[in-house]
Amino acid sequence: MYVSLDKQKMRVVHKHPSVTVVCGLVHIELPDAPADICPEDMVVKHKTDLEIKLLFRSCFPGEADHIPVSDMKSRILQFVEAMPETDVDPGEVKRQADSIRDNDKKPYQYVKGAFRPARPAELFAEGSEQHSAPAAASATVPANPVARPVRPAAAPRPANSAPRASGVREKIWAVADSMWEEAGKPTDKSKVLTLRKQIMDALEQQDVKRTSSSNELGNWQKARIS
C-alpha cells in the first residue's frame, strides 16, 4: 500500500496499492501542498520530532501527545495500517488528472463515476455567500447565478508560477521507493547504481526526463540509503 502525506497540514490523505493512483490523486487534490508519497510503512521515516507530533495530532485529534516519539510512531503506523483504502477507479483517476491543465493550481476533488473532477470547494462556498441575500432582494438575482464571474481574488495565478514540479518529484520518489522495495532494499553501491538506471528507464516511460530523474534520484539516495 502507498499513502500520500500532506506535509503542510501533516495528515495522511490517500491510501491505495497503486503508486500511480496515489500520484494522480495528489495531482488532483493537492496541487500546491508539499506532499510525500511513500509505502505505508515509511510514513514516519525521515520526519522530525515536531513533524511526528503534528502527524500524531492529525491521526488522533484531542488525544494527549505527551508520550515518547517512538510510541507516537508506532501508533501512527497502526493508524495508517487500519486506514481504509481510498475508494477510487484507477482509470477515472488518470482521466480526471489528465483533464487538469499544468498551470491550474486550484485544488480539485476526485469524483467517482465522473469524467472530470469536481470544482474547487471554495468556489461553491463563494456561490453560497453570494446567494444568501434576504428574500426581499431575490428579484435582483440573475436568472443564472452560476454564470456570475469569479471574484478577482480567485483569478488564476501569474504565468510565471512554477508548474507542478512537486508532482514530478513525488513521482520520482514514489517509483524509486517502490522499485527499491521490490528489489529487497539493496545498499551495495553497484546494485544501487544498476537499480537507479532501471528506475530512470521506468520514469522515462512515464514522461519524466532522465536529467530530472537523475538529479532527484541523487537526493532520494542520500535520504534513503546513504
Q: Cα 65 to the chain's mean position, in Å?
A: 26
E-state strands within the chain: 2-6, 11-16, 35-39
Q: Residue-wise pLDDT tens for the chain (226 aa)?
A: 999 999 889 999 999 999 899 999 998 998 887 888 899 999 998 889 999 999 999 999 888 778 899 999 999 999 999 999 999 999 999 999 998 887 787 889 999 988 899 876 544 554 555 444 444 433 344 444 444 444 444 444 443 333 344 468 878 888 888 888 888 888 888 888 888 888 888 888 777 888 788 888 888 888 787 6
CA–CA dist 21, 84 (Å, integer): 15
CA 208, 217, 187, 23 dihedral sign is negative
